[in-house]
Amino acid sequence: MTTRTFAATLDVSTAMIDRDACVFIDGSWRKGEGAAAISAVDPSTGEAFAQFKPASAAQVNEAAEAATRAFASWGKMGSAKRAGYLRAFAEGLRARKAELVHLQMLNNGKPRFEAEIDVDDAAATFDYYAGLADQLDADQGRPVDLGMDGLAGATYAEPLGPVALIVAWNFPMVTTAWKLAPALAAGCTAVLKPSEFTTLAELVYGDLALEAGLPAGVLNIVPGAGDVGAALSENRRFRKISFTGSNATGARVMTAAAARAVPVSLELGGKSPLIVLEDANIAEAVDIAAAGIFFNCGQMCSATSRLFVADKIADDFIAALVEKAGRLTVGGYDNPDAEMGPLTTAPQFAKVKSVFAQAQADGIECLTGGKAVEGGRGYFVEPTIYRNVPQDHAIWQEEIFGPVLALRSYATVEEAISLANDTSFGLAATVVGTDRQAAAAVARRIEAGHIWVNTIQVIPPNTAWGGFKRSGIGRELGPWGLSAYQGIKHITQAA
């Protein structure tokens, strides 16, 4: 294997970064015919390390046509046979783990342990949906007792058809697996649009399709920046659009889908709460709070970015959390001890720095951080904690997508729950407390799609992922993620 070495520590296979052809249509790699080349940037240095040509509008349409043709047979293939392809994807990801980990470290800025989790999660998702696909055909034709003499009913879960999958840059391969695995398991064919910032890791799915012998057109990949997403969401061939990203773009996807009454799944932003109850073990709560906002440099839709701590333990907890944040090792892949990497993109770096400037201008109390890491290259910022941010301030209300925590103390649990729910988002939440039943009771009252009690954020593939309120529409993962790509057909017949 030929590799390129970065900062003497990171070897990345040239096959994964120096790709001549990045558009995958109808079972083969094509040269992109889009206008401007896209650069892949290393956020630890801010320098481009590869360039690739995106898909043109005509190629997007070709991909949609290929997916439409392939659906005719893929949707009718035995589900256990489809499961075999999914298992091959999982195995292929595991076989490439070392290379993919390095690519993630290079292009996303993830510390090694985070990049490893990503590859494992993506593979586990394919395995999980292979298991559901195994059972799918056996579950078809489920009888329904109509309670009417001479009539029998049965239901069938049918694949929707060709679907467009538009994914973000914060967990490449993972959020793709959450869409692609259930879509293929259900019998849908797909056109995938990777984020322009982290396209290279997503291209591995084209390699895996070839290696697994996936029928041509079942998976197509159209990289792009600026117009490919809109071309996909407006293409009349797709029977569903699944999108992960910002609320603003999610609204555009939904508008395009509305014109054709096509269903959407939207996985959008969050401003998730973490409630530390007064009986919490402080050391444990500190670890959970830090992981909830500093993992992936805070670039998580599920980041617990608003923290509420009981008055009784507030001083001790805040002191310990600030101390932990100050001790976190921030660094790139040239530092094996790095616990938090850089922000992944230049726009995100600019956005987080503008938040710091706004906080300073508005006199928000900053307990630690509040600035970019000085004297270096790349998109590094300090782990940051603000206290008593006014409730109408953007830092309290809006998703930042960076390692920026806003905290306040509370007098009563009722007050904490009320403040936690006082948000337009509803994706995730965490509750920490020693009395497990009391903590679980608080969790039940939080308006969010996924809640952790006394644990860091783990998301096994058989859970449900998605939000209430502005955080999105629909659920990924679990059986709900599969049904997102199915339509129900009911047959009533004379017995």
What are the residues binding ligand NDP (CB under 6 A)?
Answer: 166, 168-170, 193, 195, 224-230, 232-233, 244-246, 249, 252-253, 256, 267-269, 301, 348, 351, 399, 401
Whole-angstrom distance, CA of residue 264 vs CA of residue 168: 16
Whole-angstrom distance, CA of residue 317 vs CA of residue 315: 6
Residue 52: CB minimum distance to ligand NDP, A = 13
Question: Which C-beta is closer to ligand NDP: that of 225 or that of 373?
Answer: 225
Question: Which C-beta is closer to ligand NDP: that of 244 or that of 454?
Answer: 244
Local structure of residue 466 (DSSP, 8 states): -
Strand, coil or helix: what is 172? coil
| Number of Cα atoms under 13 Å in the Cβ half of residue 368 | 19
Among candidates 173, 224, 178, 176, which has minimal Cα distance to 197?
224
Question: Which C-beta is closer to ligand NDP: that of 107 or that of 244?
Answer: 244
Residue 457: CB minimum distance to ligand NDP, A = 13
Question: Which C-beta is closer to ligand NDP: that of 44 or that of 108?
Answer: 108
Question: Which C-beta is closer to ligand NDP: that of 30 or that of 94?
Answer: 30
DSSP letters spanning 471-494: TEES-BSHHHHHHTTEEEEEEEEE
- Is the separation of the CB atoms in 480 and 464 below 8 Å? yes
Residue 346: CB minimum distance to ligand NDP, A = 11
Residue 394: CB minimum distance to ligand NDP, A = 12
Question: Pick the catalytic residue: 267, 382, 399, 476?
Answer: 267
Return the percent helix, strand and coil in the chain, to nearest 5: 40, 25, 35
Q: Which residues contact 26 (CB under 8 A, 6 or more apart)?
A: 62, 63, 66, 69, 70, 216, 217, 220
Tokens of 51: 């360039």
Residue 79: CB minimum distance to ligand NDP, A = 29
Question: Which C-beta is closer to ligand NDP: that of 189 or that of 348?
Answer: 348
Helix H, strand E, coil C: the string for 287-304 is HHHHHHHHHHHHCCCCCC
Question: Which C-beta is closer to ligand NDP: that of 42 or that of 234?
Answer: 234
Whole-angstrom distance, CA of residue 105 vs CA of residue 11: 10
Task: Write out the E strands in 321-438.
Answer: 365-368, 384-387, 404-410, 425-426, 428-432
Residue 355: CB minimum distance to ligand NDP, A = 10
- 144 DSSP β-pair partners: 153
Among candidates 7, 23, 394, which has minimal Cα distance to 194?
23
Residue 264: CB minimum distance to ligand NDP, A = 10
Active site residue 267: yes
Enzyme catalytic residues: 267
